[in-house]
Amino acid sequence: MRFVNDNGALMFYNRGETGRIEAWGKDSFRVRATMRRKFTDRPWALTEPVPKCDTKVEIGEEDFYTGDRFIKVPMATITNGRIKAVVNFAGVISFFKDDKLILREYYRSYGGTISKESRCLKIVNREWRGIIGSNNYTLNLKFESNEGEKIFGMGQYQQPFMDHKGCVLELAQRNSQISVPFAVSSLGYGFLWNNPAVGRVTFGKNYTEWIAQSTKDMDYWITAADTPKEILYNYTAVTGRADMFPEDLMGLWQCKLRYRTQEEVLSVARKYKEEGIKIDMIVIDFFHWTVQGDWKFDEKYWPDPKAMVDELHSMGIKVIVSVWPSVDRRSENFGPMMERGLLIKTERGAAQTYDYMGDCVEIDPFNPETRDYVWEVCKKNYYDYGIDAFWLDNSEPDYCVYDFDNYRYCDGPALEISNMYPQMYSRIFYDNMVKQGKGPVVNLLRCAWAGSQKYGNVVWSGDVPSTFEAFADQIQCGINMGLAGIPWWTTDIGGFMTDDVKDPDFQQLLIRWYQFAVYSAVFRMHGDRGPYNIPPLDDRDWGGGFQKTGQPNELWSYGEDNYKIMRKYYDIRISMKDYIKKLYEEAHTNGSPLMRAMFYEFPDDPKCWELQDQYMFGDKYLVAPILKLNQFEREVYLPKGTWKLTSTGETYNGGCTVRVAAPIEYMPVFERL
């Protein structure tokens, strides 16, 4: 093992591996290693400039017991503020916060650490396996498992567990699964797997294991801090923070699957105006187009988009349209894009990546020519009409088969970089809309990666079922997305997939979901509402008329009793506008999410680290959603302090669990006094 102080960075060389640990922001390190001659030097998520840090590198020796005697072996340390890394002669890295061990790489072979651990297993901390026929490697990185530790963040996984300790998480993007590989530890550190490769992480009881299926470098970032709020501050300082969210989008967004015509959109907007309900955004969903990849309105049903947009704007309503990355072979853009190499390539078999309602190949947003091409088409056919925003659906992308080893982008194989696809897709629109200079960019996406928060992404939780079980999962999904640095997060109110809108059980779910959504970042009605007994507009197998539409999904669509509840909660949302604006300002300035884990506001309360069925909406409101059918009361834990139940005005002293009523008209919310 050889160590070098490279202008304040610690370099280490061992058996063909080159490693580098360098200060990267406050109390933080970036750690890289490679088996190649040099690093790729891709920043991945670490895109923000960081100030030069006053680091200290020490290269020396330590005692190592061989079994019968002690010998001197090389070792080195690097310190940046409160965090210190120690590298021993076998290349095992240990991290300390204020000289207390917080994380250590896992090594079970002779020459690891001076301990009683087994030395004969030949398990190393960083295992590189060359991929035959490629200059890439499969990387397996292991860490010791800290007993009693809890792990949060990591994006969005549809499961009932908020604490990821003991979980296996696929590092891959899917519809409703979002890999944002930043973990927040209860031990006071944050860890970013700064690698967009498809892989897996296991937060096991015996060890933690990060796997990249195809990569050139190991790359991770670690920070030390006392509270989750400080950890998020450090993390977003190096990966970027969300822009300031526009005030005129903090109210209701109206959507359904799907408004089929220009007149349907306008009639809904006019009805809302008659009802005295201001909607901030109306959403035009999929198959308003001719075929996928044409990226334009079907003129038969949308004869004058400019006039439609102008009328909506006159009512103070902004307009967002759905854009998919799939290009049908029938599209006027397929031939030119295929010829110019602007679509995803397959390694074997036919050129097809998506098969919903057409034989499609999806775009390659890693290619700057693709980004230019798609923007020019969408600018001409949407943006120049006054369309305000883009709903970038299927942004994982949604492959017909998730065989990642069969797809390739211009920057490399999908196995190596696919997790960045949604971010690159969003930048087709974000980068160009910023150039247009029309205020903060806000687009809607179904997926994200580390750092996506800085590209105007409102991320929603995907096509989830309309069940109470799925609803309960969304609570931990929203909390963990916020802890992964994504503050602009939302869901389809009521879930996406509904068989019968008249089912009283569904309507109860809808109300409970709606009440929760009022206390989330983006308040948005959407869903695929059955039964599907509305005939198509025409019998073509393409265009805006052949696709199904769901039942009405406006606030008044579910009967007078439900409308009264939704109208009341709409008024609550509007009354909180100044408060919500403050929360968005915090997200912009320090990275804090709007929807916060209980421990985010009360890190010194052990009970708050156990709770996942209640949360804080900012620092003021404790929200206790109703997550079961026919549940009309629930227990709520109140941290120390004084709390007011907003439904009755009754005050409570915290530090205990209380049981409160929750009739269908009310979701328990406590105001912190």
pLDDT digits (tens, 9 = 90+) for 501-541: 999 999 999 999 999 999 999 999 999 999 999 999 999 98
Report pTM: 0.97
DSSP structure class, residue 516: H
Evaluate if residue 200 carries a pLDDT over 90: yes
How does residue 127 score in pLDDT terms, banded at 50, 70 and 90? very high
For 112, phi then psi, to 5°, come to -80, -85
> pLDDT tens across 246-265, in order?
999 999 999 999 999 999 99
Which residues does residue 219 pair with via DSSP β-bridges, in sequence order? 32
Burial of residue 70 (CB within 10 Å: 0-12, 13-18, 19+) is: exposed
**Mean local confidence (pLDDT), 30-51:** 96
Q: Which residues are 141's β-sheet partners?
A: 126, 210
- pLDDT-based confidence at 114, cuts 50/70/90? very low
- Residue 41's alpha-carbon distances to 20, 46, 360, 620, 629, in angstroms, are 12, 11, 34, 43, 52
Rounded distance between C-alpha atoms, residue 146 and residue 607, angstroms: 19
The span from the CA of 641 to the CA of 452, in Å, is 36
- pLDDT of 281-302, one tens digit each? 999 999 999 999 999 999 999 9
Mean pLDDT for the stretch of residues 82-92: 95
Both structure tokens of 655: 């530090």
What average pLDDT does this structure show over 123-152?
96
pLDDT per residue as tens digits for the range 314-363: 999 999 999 999 999 999 999 999 999 999 999 999 999 999 999 999 99
Nearest CA to 548 among 560, 559, 530, 536?
536
Given the residues 27, 285, 388, 393, the one annotated as active site: 393
What is the average pLDDT across 83-104? 96
Active site residue 393: yes
Judge contact between 3 and 213, C-beta under 8 A. Answer: no
Say whether 203 sits in a helix, a strand or coil. Answer: strand
Per cent of the chain over pLDDT 70 is 99
> Residue 113 pLDDT more than 70?
no
Closest C-alpha among 285, 316, 495 to residue 393 = 285
Instruction: Give the strand pairing for 642-645 and 651-653.
Output: antiparallel
Residue 301 near residue 262, CB atoms below 8 Å = yes
**Domains (ranges, CATH) in the chain?**
2-239 (2.60.40.1760), 597-672 (2.60.40.1180)
C-beta of residue 479 within 8 angstroms of C-beta of residue 150: no
User: Given 362, 396, 398, 528, which residue is catalytic?
Assistant: 396
Beta carbons of 362 and 392 less than 8 angstroms apart: no
Phi, psi for residue 512 in degrees, rounded to 5: -65, -40
Q: Residue 44's pLDDT is what?
A: 98
Known catalytic residue at 396: yes
The string over 531-553, giving b where at least 16 C-beta atoms fall within 10 Å of a residue's C-beta and e elsewhere, is eeeeeebeeeebbbbebebbbeb
Number of H-type helices and E-type strands within the chain = 12, 41
For residue 435, pLDDT over 90 is answered with yes
CA geometry: angle 119, 77, 144, nearest 5 deg: 40
Task: List the beta bridge partners of residue 362.
Answer: 326
Say if residue 109's pLDDT is above 90: no
Q: What is the structure's pLDDT at 118? A: 52
pLDDT bracket for residue 121 (50, 70, 90): confident
Give the three-class secondary structure for 335. Answer: helix
Give the relative orientation of helices 368-381 and 421-436 as an angle to the nearest 10 degrees. 50
Distance CA 364, CA 69 (A): 59
Torsion, Cα 606 610 611 612, to 10 degrees, reads 140
The pLDDT score that the predictor gives to residue 119 is 64
pLDDT level of residue 65 (50, 70, 90 thresholds) = confident
CA trace torsion 306, 307, 309, 311 (10° rounding) = 160
Amino acid sitting at position 360: C
Predicted confidence (pLDDT) at residue 115 exceeds the cutoff of 70? no
The CA–CA distances, whole Å, from 657 to 122, 160, 607, 623, 671 equal: 50, 22, 10, 14, 15
Contacts of 238 (CB under 8 A, 6+ apart): 24, 25, 28, 46, 48, 50, 221
Name the DSSP letter for residue 38.
S
Q: To the nearest whole number, what is the mean pLDDT of the chain?
A: 96
State how far Cα 516 lies from the chain centre. 19
The catalytically annotated residue of 248, 311, 463, 613 is 463
Q: Is 319 exposed, middle or buried (0-12, 13-18, 19+ CB in 10 A)?
A: buried
> At residue 591, does pLDDT exceed 80?
yes
Mean pLDDT of 124-153: 96
Collapse the DSSP code of 60 into the 3-class scheme (helix H, G, I; strand E, B; otherwise coil) and give the result.
strand
pLDDT at 438 over 90: no
The three-class DSSP label of residue 210 is strand
Using CA atoms, how far residue 354 sits from 284, 377, 408, 447, 572, in Å, is 22, 21, 14, 17, 42
428 by DSSP, 3-state: which? helix
CB atoms closer than 10 angstroms to residue 121 = 12
